[in-house]
Structure 1
């Protein structure tokens, strides 16, 4: 079964063009398009299907992408939100991530790269291209750093090294000569130990504490 996608973008021609591109992907399909966050909420209230993924523009009238992402994080945390915008500045990226977006792409992304990003978002739970990752890492506040107050095993340290790469969890498992389930257990254990919630948080911790070398 294909993963369902909703596009939220006030530029209808762009949204429809994007819908046509995605509907040619093997694993994804667009189930409907909304003009802004308020339109999306209304669609939900009317009983329309809840999608697996939402592609969310930022600059929209009535209810923009920042507000919409925050609403989704609160009311539908299982939906994976991918920002898709012309805005690639630091403030926009950081604010969208803080508001719950699990990925960020620019609208000039090649269709093949979009398909890859959607696949990674679906399988890994997030996707940030290298340029966005650099913004996230360089803008993390000091108060978000985790101090090393717990014991981290050698295998967990090895896993931390890979969190800063673009490798999928399956690819990390291949590098570590173990199963993807084992890699997921390293992730879950470290998140519990360090009071973190995402791979981005683990990657930032790894960089700031010297595990990414």
Structure 2
């Protein structure tokens, strides 16, 4: 069965072109197109089909990509967000990732690379091209030693090792021999301590600081 995608982009010609390109992919299909974040929310709240992935532009009227990503992360955390934008600056990349995007591509990406990125997002849970990875690592390097100034318990460290996996929180709870509620408390405490919002942010922190 093909994985389903919704495109959110206020440039209808671009959105329709993307829809046509993805229509030629073997494992993916576009189920509908939205003009901005509010349009997407309206469709989701009116029982439109919930997609597996969302290709999300950043610069849009009414509700932009940053706001939309944050809303999706809170209300539909199971949907994987791939930012697809003309904006490749450091601030845009970091803000989208902190708001829940699990991938980032520029609109000049070759169709074959888009298909590869979607496949990686599906199998690995995230996809960042080399240039975006450099931005992420640079941002982490510029942080003033959070691992040295924030007290992280042994159980929180153990939880961090699992954030880079595809295990669900329930499966992590089983591995840690505790309840899912306890695992969620580890997540919430770490996000507060490290000023992060998503599991992706925790995973990047874990990899950067040797917890995974």
CA distance in structure 1 between the aligned counterparts of 2:77 and 2:146, rounded to whole angstroms: 21
Q: State whether residues 85 and 105 of structure 1, in contact with CA within 8 Å, keep that contact through their aligned partners in structure 2.
A: yes
Task: For residue 58 of structure 1, report the CA deviation from its aligned partner.
Answer: 0.1
Aligned alpha-carbon RMSD (Å): 3.1
Question: Pairwise mapping of residues 105-116 of structure 1 onto structure 2 (< 5 A)?
Answer: 105-116=105-116
Task: For residue 39 of structure 1, report the CA deviation from its aligned partner.
Answer: 0.5
Label 1:25 to 1:147 Cα distance change in 2 as closer, same or farther (>3 A).
Answer: farther
Question: Pairwise mapping of residues 50-61 of structure 1 onto structure 2 (< 5 A)?
Answer: 50-61=50-61
Task: For residue 144 of structure 1, report the CA deviation from its aligned partner.
Answer: 4.8
**Partner residue in 1 for 2:44:** 44
Task: For residue 205 of structure 1, report the CA deviation from its aligned partner.
Answer: 3.7
When normalised by structure 1's length, the TM-score is 0.74
CA distance in structure 2 between the aligned counterparts of 1:23 and 1:126, rounded to whole angstroms: 22
CA distance in structure 2 between the aligned counterparts of 1:26 and 1:66, rounded to whole angstroms: 30
Q: State whether residues 2 and 28 of structure 2, in contact with CA within 8 Å, keep that contact through their aligned partners in structure 1.
A: yes
Label 1:79 to 1:199 Cα distance change in 2 as closer, same or farther (>3 A).
Answer: closer
Q: Does 2:73 correspond to 1:65?
A: no
Q: State whether residues 137 and 204 of structure 1, in contact with CA within 8 Å, keep that contact through their aligned partners in structure 2.
A: no
Task: For residue 91 of structure 1, report the CA deviation from its aligned partner.
Answer: 0.4
Q: State whether residues 69 and 100 of structure 2, in contact with CA within 8 Å, keep that contact through their aligned partners in structure 1.
A: yes
Q: Does 2:41 correspond to 1:10?
A: no
Task: For residue 22 of structure 1, report the CA deviation from its aligned partner.
Answer: 0.5
SS state at 1:30 partner = strand
Task: For residue 124 of structure 1, report the CA deviation from its aligned partner.
Answer: 1.1
**Partner residue in 1 for 2:82:** 82
Of the structure 1 ranges 195-204 and 17-26, higher mean CA displacement relative to structure 2 is found in 195-204
Question: Pairwise mapping of residues 1-213 of structure 1 onto structure 2 (< 5 A)?
Answer: 1-140=1-140, 141-142=143-144, 144-145=146-147, 150=154, 198=199, 201-209=202-210
SS state at 1:84 partner = strand
**Structure 2, unaligned runs of 5 or more:** 166-170, 177-182, 192-197
SS state at 1:87 partner = coil
**Structure 1, unaligned runs of 5 or more:** 164-168, 170-183
Label 1:33 to 1:199 Cα distance change in 2 as closer, same or farther (>3 A).
Answer: closer
CA distance in structure 2 between the aligned counterparts of 1:128 and 1:81, rounded to whole angstroms: 12
CA distance in structure 1 between the aligned counterparts of 2:83 and 2:29, rounded to whole angstroms: 17
Label 1:74 to 1:207 Cα distance change in 2 as closer, same or farther (>3 A).
Answer: closer
When normalised by structure 2's length, the TM-score is 0.74
